[in-house]
Amino acid sequence: MNRLAAETSPYLRQHADNPIDWYPWGDEAFAAARDRGVPVFLSVGYSACHWCHVMAHESFESTTTAAIMNRLFVNIKVDREERPDIDAIYMQATQTMTGSGGWPMSVWLTPDGAPFHAGTYFPAQDRHGLPSFTRVAEAISQAWHERRDEVDELATNLTAAITVELPQTPHESVTAETFDNAIATLRRDFDVEWGGFGRAPKFPQAATLSLLARHDPDTAMLTTTLDAMACGGIYDQVGGGFARYSTDNEWCIPHFEKMLYDNALLIRAYTDGWLRTRNDRYRRIVAETIEWAMHELRHPDGGFFSAFDADSEGIEGKYYAWSDAELREALGEQYFEFSKFYGVSERGNFVDPHSNFSGNVLHLADREHEPSPALLEALGQLRERRALRVTPGCDDKVLLAWNAMMVRALCEAGAAFAEPRWIHEARRTTEFLMTNLRRADGRFLRTWQADAAPTDGWGLNGKARLLAYAQDYAALAEALASLCEYDCIEWLPAACEVADELIELFHDDVNGGFFTTGSDAERLIVRAKDQMDSATPAENSLAANALLRLSTITDNARYLRIGSECIASVATLFVRHPTGFGYALEAAARIAFPSVEVVIAGDPDEISTRKLFEVVYTRLSRNRVVLHTNPDMASQVASTVYLLSGRGLVDSNSTAYVCQHSTCQLPVTNAGALIAQLKRVDPGYELTSR
């Protein structure tokens, strides 16, 4: 038995019975390596990672391999989702050494934590030009003992290489031209037939799609991608929700794991797509994805779990794929229409190479049409039938940043589609996070797990642990800013408190931007700073967007300055690498385009008030904040917000106030007049409301 059984991470506990003598990350492991005079082997992965499971089955569960690893190294297992700081440092080392990266990540370290060799998946036997895992391990151990000077020099050079931040360039202003040029770059990499950018494997570029919705005069890149993903197998046609990525160019065969953050970001992208085009398909995808998350990922107390595995019963895709015979039996006479619409064949379109399991991954063969009511009913029958299968493993830890991203998505979708239930769920989730992922002294924590053994000194209920990172704080500040706009202004003190703590704990006062870890956190070999958006938005992109939004609401010059510096420091890279800065470009629009402030005064239950909100919430904008005040309700918070000062009813009617650059239009009391004002002051209004 190794040391992982008591860990809160489901991923680490999956390896608790491995014959490899795993340590969790910590001083004990590095002290053991120093005492024994051996390197550290660091294995980083996550619970929904298919190839992590493959390597575990092939190597980590092998007693022969374990004997070698236990003799040669001290072995550490890390969940990248719990420890993004460790993951970021050693992923950078892996990419520097090999030119690529991914998970499982395999890195060999000195007992001081300096990396000197790295890779990703290694097979159990020599295969396809890859050396076996044990062959690599033995060669590394030999080099450690026989050529130690070379190893130490490599470790020193590699550590120096990963200490460097993004190239330091002069701060650059962003303008409307920045966005035109970024769109032009995206157009060069665009797959005109199937959407997306680049070749397979294809990842949903959710922030890039939201960027296109707001800034591309032509909707072709946006709609081609949204339609292809919605019709493909990357979207679970039976149960809703998106898989992590597609293994082919057509978005047909996914890598089946489902992540909370992908779905939160794609809810926003499809909401923006609907706001731009009014395509009912996008409304359906948003609703189905939210309902999937509410049903499958929701903890009863209010948080969202992290992910579902790609595998069930040890076979990738077995839960999701369908044999032709099973579909014939389940659907009867409906089979013929169904099979034609969803691309079903006797042979199927998916094979798991490790088990030879095969089947059909459902997808819409014709992207032009939506499923009929009869086909939707057939999907419901399959959903009931699939529920009898062995479900993929659920990673049931609740991560602060990912939940905060879901809060923002629920707020925006709830407002756009007039679904107050979704905003209620955003509020409930936030209350859960503020209560459960926080220490008694107010310090936020990264992860909560219902089955965790209570630990003194961590969360208020003992089930949360690990100091929250800049991404957690910044995403939570974003979520709270969204609640200020879409729920009520009473969230503002909490939003400002989180923003202030973000600056105090993580801001780089010398070079600007935000470090991944707080000033009170464990010291690693590098204090990382995440500046590029990837699977999730970078902490600096999230922070910039949150601070710039809050600066408009509060008129706080410090928020404006720090948020603007985050963007200016990477602005030279926007045009060359727009997919690496999709979320940062959203924040940059708050600098490049004039801010539009809209205040609506009135009883939220009155039809006249709701009509004014509809005008605003069902139109996209490049830079806008929307606040609500109810003059019949006294609010100490509202009285401190300068945008709400003097914003009362006109002639007892619900009233909208539109301002820009401290210059306000005349108050209006009907939707038509509000539309006319927004067209005058918002340069993106007509583009995004067609």
Between CA 674 and CA 663 the distance in angstroms is: 16
- Same-domain pairing of 101 and 236: no
Residue 81 has pLDDT above 80, yes or no: yes
| 59-69 tens-digit pLDDT | 999 999 999 99
Task: Give the helix/strand (H/E) hosting 136.
Answer: helix 133-146
Does 320 reside within a domain? yes
Write out 301-326 in H/E/C secondary structure. CCCECCEECCEECCEECCCCCECHHH
Query: Which residue is it, tokens 């690990």?
Result: 466
- Chain segment 321-330, per-residue pLDDT in tens: 999 999 999 9
Exposure of 334 in the CB half-sphere (CA atoms within 13 A): 19
Instruction: State the pTM of this model.
Output: 0.94
Give the helix, strand, coil percentages of the chain, each rounded to 5.
Answer: 50, 15, 40
Do the Cβ atoms of 296 and 239 come closer than 8 Å? yes
Say if residues 531 and 570 touch (Cβ distance below 8 Å). yes
Do 200 and 145 share a domain, yes or no?
A: no
Residue 75 has pLDDT above 60, yes or no: yes
Residue with tokens 């470090």: 515
Whether cis (ω within 30° of 0) applies to the bond prior to 493 is: no
Question: Does residue 255 sit in the same domain as residue 139?
Answer: no
Q: Give the end of a domain, one of 394, 427, 451.
A: 394
State pLDDT tens for residues 13-51. 999 999 999 999 999 999 999 999 999 999 999 998 888
Q: What is the CATH number of the domain that holds 690?
A: 3.40.30.10
Query: CA-CA distance, 231 to 491, in Å (whole number)?
Result: 38
468, with CB counted inside 10 A (0-12, 13-18, 19+), is buried
The percentage of the chain sitting over the pLDDT mark of 90, rounded to a whole number, equals 86
pLDDT at 165: 57
Distance between CA atoms of 134 and 137, rounded to whole angstroms?
5
Is there a domain that residue 2 lies in? no
- Cα–Cα distance, 29 to 73 (Å, whole number): 10
How sure is the predictor about 549, in pLDDT bands with cuts at 50, 70 and 90? very high
Question: Looking at residues 610-628, what average pLDDT do you find?
Answer: 95
Q: Which of 117-131, 154-168, 439-453, 654-668 has the lowest mean pLDDT?
A: 154-168
Residue 453: its pLDDT value, please?
Answer: 67
Residue 35 makes CB contacts below 8 A (sequence gap 6+) with: none
Are 44 and 149 members of one domain? yes
* 583 occurs within a structural domain: no
- CA–CA dist 3, 11 (Å, integer): 13
Determine the Cα–Cα distance for residues 153 and 519; give it in Å rounded to an integer. 29
Q: Which residue has the tokens 């700073």?
A: 529
Mean per-residue pLDDT over the chain, rounded: 93
User: What pLDDT, in 10s, does the model give residues 277-288?
Assistant: 999 999 999 999
| CB within 8 Å of 634: residues ≥ 6 apart | none
Which tens digits make up the pLDDT trace of 623-633? 999 999 987 77
- Specify the pLDDT at position 84: 94
- Higher-confidence position of 637 and 90: 90
Structural domain count of the chain: 3
DSSP 392: P
Tokens 């038509």 identify what position? 672
How many residues in total does the chain contain? 690
HSE-CB at 495 with a 13 A cutoff on CA atoms is: 30
The DSSP call for residue 32 is H
pLDDT digits 0-9 by tens, 335-389: 999 999 999 999 999 998 888 899 999 999 999 999 999 999 999 999 999 999 9
Which of 340, 361, 394 is the endpoint of a domain? 394
Q: Are 327 and 280 in the same domain?
A: yes
Spatial distance between the Cα atoms of 134 and 149, rounded to a whole number of angstroms:
23
293 and 377 co-located in one domain:
yes
**331 plus 375 within the same structural domain:** yes
Q: Which band of pLDDT confidence, cut at 50, 70 and 90, is reported for residue 426? A: very high
For residue 101, pLDDT beyond 50 = yes
| Residue 458 belongs to a domain | no
* 248 and 354 part of one domain: yes
pLDDT at residue 662 in the model: 73
In a domain, 490, yes or no: no
Q: What is the DSSP string of 19-63?
A: SS-EEESSHHHHHHHHHHT-PEEEEEE-TT-HHHHHHIIIIIT-H
Verify that 159 and 199 share a domain, yes or no. Answer: no
Does 24 map to a domain? Answer: yes
pLDDT in tens, 441-473: 999 999 999 887 666 556 666 689 999 999 999
Contact 375, 443 (CB under 8 A): no
Label residue 492 exposed, middle or buried (CB < 10 Å: 0-12, 13-18, 19+): buried
Q: What is the pLDDT of residues 497-543, one digit of tens each?
A: 999 999 999 999 999 999 999 999 999 999 999 999 999 999 999 99
H or E element, residue 74: strand 74-79
pLDDT computed for residue 690 by the predictor: 46
Please answer whether residues 114 and 525 qualify as being in contact, where contact means their C-beta atoms are separated by less than 8 angstroms. Answer: yes
Q: What is the C-alpha to C-alpha distance for residues 395 and 244, in angstroms, rounded to an integer?
A: 14
- Would 336 be classed as within a structural domain? yes
**Is the same domain home to 205 and 59?**
no
Predicted confidence (pLDDT) at residue 393 exceeds the cutoff of 50: yes
Whether residue 135 is found in the same domain as residue 41: yes
Residues 15 and 126 in one domain: yes
Indicate the burial class of 571 (C-beta count within 10 angstroms; 0-12, 13-18, 19 or more).
buried
Domain of residue 281 covers 195-394
Asked if residue 468 is part of any domain, the answer here is no
Q: What percent of the chain has pLDDT over 70?
A: 96
| Amino acid identity at 578 | P
